[in-house]
Amino acid sequence: MTYTNFTIETDADGIALVTWDMPDKSMNVFTVEVLDELDAIVDQIAGDDAVKGAVITSGKKDSFSGGADISMLKKMFDIFNAEKTRDPDQAVKLLFDNAGRMSQVFRKLETCGKPFVSAINGTCMGGAFELSLACHGRVAADTDAVKIALPEVKIGIFPGAGGTQRVPRLTNQQDALQMMTTGQNLKPARAKAMGLVHEVVPPKKLIDAAKKMIGDGLKPVQPWDEKGFKLPGGNIYSASGANVWPAASAILRRETHMNYPGAAAILKCVYEGLQVPFDTALVVEQRYFAQVLQTREAGAMLRSLFVSLQELNKGARRPEDVKSTKFKKIGVVGAGFMGAGIAFVTAKAGIPVVLIDREQEAADKGKAHSADLMKKAIQKGRAAQDDADKLLSLITPTTDYADLDGCDLVIEAVFEDSGIKKAVTEQAEANLKRTAVFASNTSTIPITDLAKNSARPKNFIGIHFFSPVDKMMLVEVILGKKTSDKALAVALDYVRAIKKTPIVVNDTRGFYVNRCVLRYMSEAYNMLIEGVPPAMIENAAKMAGMPVGPLALNDETAIDLSQKILKQTLNDLGEKAVDPRHVDLVNTMVDKHGRHGRKNGKGFYDYPQKPAQKHLWPELKTLYPQQDPDAIDFAELKERFLYVIALEAARVMGEGIVTDPREADVGSILAFGFAPYTGGTLSYIDGIGAEAFVARARQLQKKYGTQFKPPRLLTDMAKTGETFYGRFNPYPELEQADAA
């Protein structure tokens, strides 16, 4: 029998090698067709007396499988949504049945009577590892390419194909819960230590080792299917269980504030599933999985952090008619913290980079930043010395602009000073080929204004990184009025080359991300001035889903920078553009108390020497009369943070600064961690509904100020019942296909 996605070769010893190698895909993924073929393969292996057992491996280099495909999840939701309006109960039943399809195939595999071994040669994520767990043996290649994980919680769901039941039956419950609730990657050695992998062998011996397990008499029965099976580490109701479960529940609440139904469902599945027979446990898991799939959080996170993120990473906004760029050489002007970080990520992508500064010492210091990052990576076991040597050999620190000759792209990362940027632009362009693109990493100055310094504004664009560059995954690509499709394509090709996610933004002061972030911090200023206790402000933000409180974030970005931005805004746009109370607060912090933020060890927080922890500045609460904490509506504090940011995102859409809702959502999560469980700023509004959102925003406006005034776009949407994903449909081709 032949298959589209698998090949089967049986050797002289009667051991079948099942190789998963999907045509026209760089990585194997689960689709409906793949599941159907795997189901048939299990029948074929089980029904062939000449076959002793089977080894499942991948034909892809350094990759076993990335898990479920978008199309399979989308089909599941489409069927559910189509049926929901006709027969809600039937819709839920269909969702339940579809949610269990993968789990049923895996259970069939492990009970078919023939031993199966998974030979893991590379990335093994989600459903792929759940397939491996259903195999009776697991062998992993001893290579950095092998990354084992059940990361579903990061996209709003959980391991629903047996993962929540097999992992805690193979390893202790504490490690199992930590692995699944964090979605952490495991190296082969760690997976083996946890009991999730049986052997770790050199890559060249992977298949032989897997076959040997079968040849040596591997039992075709899982431990939990044998009589007398005992859980590793003890039962739920035991001394060890008493230590694990109260702490696990407390940690879940502390880390998630119960905003993530998928994370909570993992604890429920494990807790309930370990107390019943295995087949019953799989039904428990299936029920919770179907339940979580129906939540607003799962739908929003799956769309933004799975579907949209992949689409943007693959170049959804890239002009199709422009030839892709293979970068031979990149220039970075400005070797400060940002420029040095840009040089690092460029060299890490294998691209030679010229790092320019006014003084050779400064340029050398910029390269040293890369050396420091690689040193830390080596210490953590994430890189070898050869990797560091190779990366550093790609960075050329210099003061000579002539070294930019031959660059495909030059990124300017100097101070936020229009005069300095003008001089840098002119010097760089004098040494560039005609087709080269020049980009500014500015965070505040409009690109159209900076492009006036260029002799070729069509090739001028903004590429805005976030700090620290090596860790932050988002890049804003900003279009000036004259920026060409060619420049946009080059910028997106570069962002893709350095493995970051781009969003495309039209020109405005603050672009998209900074406008939202400034609203977040400004609302914290409002709360301080109202007399809300500082600790309550920070806790409300974090409990609303933000990773960092607004006061701590302001310390990181620097309070004196906030002062400069307020002054610049005042000069450019007049007194009505700023709140004088905010100016007074920032001036008091910077000028009176010398509190600039983390960089000088004192801001809204104090930063004592380690091992002491940072803590809120005790005198902060003395700046304004304090309200009685018991009289404050804490839920409303949380709501204010989410609403003020989401409203700014809606204004940005209304102004045409961002035109694709996928970019607004993904950008808000990756850039400043806007409550990921919401799916992002616009998904948050869509989830509530425009009419209800506008009504609540007007209540907040009446109580707290014009920052909560809904923009015209939102009020129009409230009247028509529109959503952002309906009004700004990112898939017009699908709409046309449906019409046809």
Residues annotated as catalytic are 464
Who contacts 47 (Cβ-Cβ below 8 Å, separation ≥6)? none
C-alpha to C-alpha distances, 725 to 101, 374, 604, 647, 714, nearest whole angstrom: 30, 42, 38, 16, 13
Q: Which spans in 661-731 are helix H?
A: 661-672, 681-688, 690-704, 712-720, 724-727
For residue 629, the 8-state DSSP code is G
Structure-token match 């100097």, residue found? 414
What DSSP element (H or E) covers 63? strand 63-65
Residue 179 has phi, psi (to 5 degrees) of -60, -45
Half-sphere exposure of 32 (CA within 13 A, CB side): 8
Q: Which residues pair with 462 in a beta bridge?
A: 440, 478
Q: Which long-range contacts (CB under 8 A, 24 or more apart) does 175-180 make?
A: 176/270, 177/244, 177/248, 177/266, 177/267, 177/270, 179/149, 179/150, 180/150, 180/153, 180/266, 180/270
Return the axis-axis angle of helices 513-530 and 550-557, rounded to nearest 10°: 120
Is-contact 363 333, C-beta < 8 A?
no
197: left (phi over 0), alpha (psi -120 to 50) or beta: beta
Structure-token match 């002062």, residue found? 563
Q: Which residues pair with 18 in a beta bridge?
A: 8, 56
Tokens of 732: 């017009």
Amino acid at 265: A
C-alpha to C-alpha distances, 119 to 54, 204, 225, 293, nearest whole angstrom: 10, 11, 22, 31
C-alpha to C-alpha distances, 717 to 300, 505, 569, nearest whole angstrom: 19, 22, 31
Burial of residue 701 (number of CB atoms within 10 Å: 0-12, 13-18, 19+):
middle
Q: Which spans in 558-606 are helix H?
A: 559-573, 580-587
What DSSP element (H or E) covers 348? helix 337-348
What DSSP element (H or E) covers 440? strand 437-440
For residue 628, the 8-state DSSP code is P
Separation of CA 696 from chain center: 30
* Residues comprising the chain, all counted: 740
464, 484, 485, 492: which is closest to 476 by C-alpha?
464
- In whole angstroms, give the CA distance from residue 129 to residue 164: 12
Q: Which spans in 23-162 are helix H?
A: 32-47, 70-84, 88-99, 101-110, 127-134
- Coil/strand/helix, residue 596: coil
C-alpha to C-alpha distances, 483 to 32, 177, 189, 452, 507, nearest whole angstrom: 43, 50, 50, 12, 10
Is-contact 440 564, C-beta < 8 A?
no
Strand positions, DSSP E, 446-492: 460-464, 474-479
Structure-token match 């789990």, residue found? 103
